[in-house]
Structure formats: C-alpha cells, structure tokens
Structure 1
Amino acid sequence: MPSTRANVSRMTLRLRPHHVLCSVGFEGVGYDDAFTANMSNLVRGQLRAPGGQDMNILISGHADAICAPCPKRRGLGCASQDRIDRFDADHAELLDLAPGQLLTWGECLEKVRENVVPDDLDRICRDCPWLPGGMCKAAVARLIQ
C-alpha cells in the first residue's frame, strides 16, 4: 500500500541528496566505528526497519544525520566540500530532489527506482571511495528489479 501523509511517522530524518543512494547501498562500511555505527542505526535500524518506508525525509543542503559523527565534518560542511557539493548536485538532479523537500523514505526509494540505473553511479558517484566495491550498484540493481 502506498504511503500517504496520513500514515507518515512523526520522526523526520535529514538527508543530503547523495545520502539517499548511500542509504540504499549501505553495507556496514564507513570512515570509522562511530560513523559506521550511526549509519547502521539510521539505515538498518530505521529506514530498513518495519515501517521505515513511512519515515519522513527532509532533503538537506548541509550536514545531515549521516554526517553527524563523520571525522570529515566541519560544522555544517565537510573537509571535502567541493566533492560533496558535486555529489549532492548530481544526485539531486538525477533523483529530482531539492533542499527543503519533504517526502517519505518510500518516496525516495521510488525516485531511485524511476530515475537510476546502476551504471549512473559511475558518473554521479565518481571519486566515492566505496564505488569500486560495487555494493551500491548491486543495491540499486536489486531495488529496480
């Protein structure tokens, strides 16, 4: 059954545009233990948990819930801000997302299904340290089947 605003959970998770696909592809790898534990809690414990598709997602133009414990975080930005800005712009364009947009996690997944094929990641995720591992491409392939 499609989610509606009436059955959306009250909790809202802030995600940068590129973190939508990072959440789809997450397999337990991160910058350090604190980062990985936080992302695992957010992705496995909330988004992939029963009812997770109804969770509110607020698209952010700054550091988000995933960035919180990142060792590269610098206030609302990142030590690799130019690369992160490119990731966010490329992901936002492909997924038709914009900062300030509110949707459910299920709607985010539908945007991935409608707009992304695994080979798109070669372009929009270039320079991502996890791209060569293939886990994100495999996760997108499973999602769009």
Structure 2
Amino acid sequence: MSKYLIRPHHMLCMQFFEGKGYSDGFVASMAAIKEKLEKEDPQVEIVEGTDDVCKNCPHNMSGACENEDSVRQHDKRVYDKVIETVGNSAKWSSITKAIRENIIDSGKMRETCGKCQWSDICFKN
C-alpha cells in the first residue's frame, strides 16, 4: 500500500473533485490519486508545500507553487480545522471523516475555501 503526501487544501478539494482543473494532465493525475485514495485507504502524510497532487500542476515551478502565498492561506484554513482530529499522518478515511465533520457538515466551507476559484463546484454539491 502506498503512502501519499497531500497538502491540506487538497484534502478538501478531493471531496468535491469532478474532473475539472488547470490542465488535462492535472485532471488525469488528480482523478487517479482520488481513485487510489478511495480504493486503497492509504496512510496520508499532511505536508507543507508541493505534494503528490502538485506534480502535474502547471503552477508547479520545479517543486514550488507559483501561487504559494495564496495556496498557503488555503492550506492553513483546512489544517487548522482538521489537524487536532487526525494529526500529521492518518488513513485517508480518517482524513475524509475529519473534513466532513469539521468543515463540510459544520457549515464552515465558505470560511475555509475563501476566494478559491473552484468553490462553485463544491457549493453546488
């Protein structure tokens, strides 16, 4: 079983991902990672900076996000709401449960997502 490196805001994005993204390569990679996470329920390490999802992102500039300042703010808002529940490493199912309980079901999506360009997808679901 694989171990995945995921930055905090991607843990939330995965809950609503529906095949849209920055590029075809990014979308294909995100879909494959989401499928493996849901099928295998692997251990996930919550990381700062670029992660397994970022590998195929057109904003990944040699291992650094060109929008890092903005992305770190998204990460912090998610991290602050789930870290006490799961720690820095947990099974994907535990992370999904913590995100549902502490962000989605508790009505904290808007404050957590901020001005994310993809939030329309999440809010319609």
Give the alignment's TM-score, normalised by structure 1.
0.76
Q: How does 1:15-30 map to 2 (within 5 A)?
A: 15-30=6-21
Alpha-carbon offset, residue 129 of structure 1: 1.2
Which has the higher mean CA deviation after the structures are superposed, 18-27 or 75-84?
75-84
**What is the percentage of aligned positions where both structures have the same residue?**
27
1:15–1:66 Cα contact (<8 Å) kept: yes
Ranges in structure 1 where 5+ consecutive residues have no aligned partner: 1-9, 139-145
Q: 1:58-105: CA deviations, max 9, x gaps?
A: 1111100100010111233211111101001111001126xx822100
Give the 3-state SS of the residue equivalent to 1:106 in structure 2: helix
Considering only aligned residues, what root-mean-square deviation do their CA atoms show, in Å? 1.8
Q: How does 1:1-145 map to 2 (within 5 A)?
A: 10-44=1-35, 46-49=36-39, 52-53=40-41, 55-96=42-83, 101-117=88-104, 119-133=107-121, 135=122, 138=125
1:35 & 1:62 partners in 2: Cα distance?
17
* Count of matched residue positions in the alignment of Structure 1 and Structure 2: 122
2:103–2:112 Cα contact (<8 Å) kept: no
Which amino acid in structure 2 is aligned with residue 41 of structure 1? A
1:59 & 1:90 partners in 2: Cα distance?
14
Give the 3-state SS of the residue equivalent to 2:99 in structure 1: helix
Ranges in structure 2 where 5+ consecutive residues have no aligned partner: none
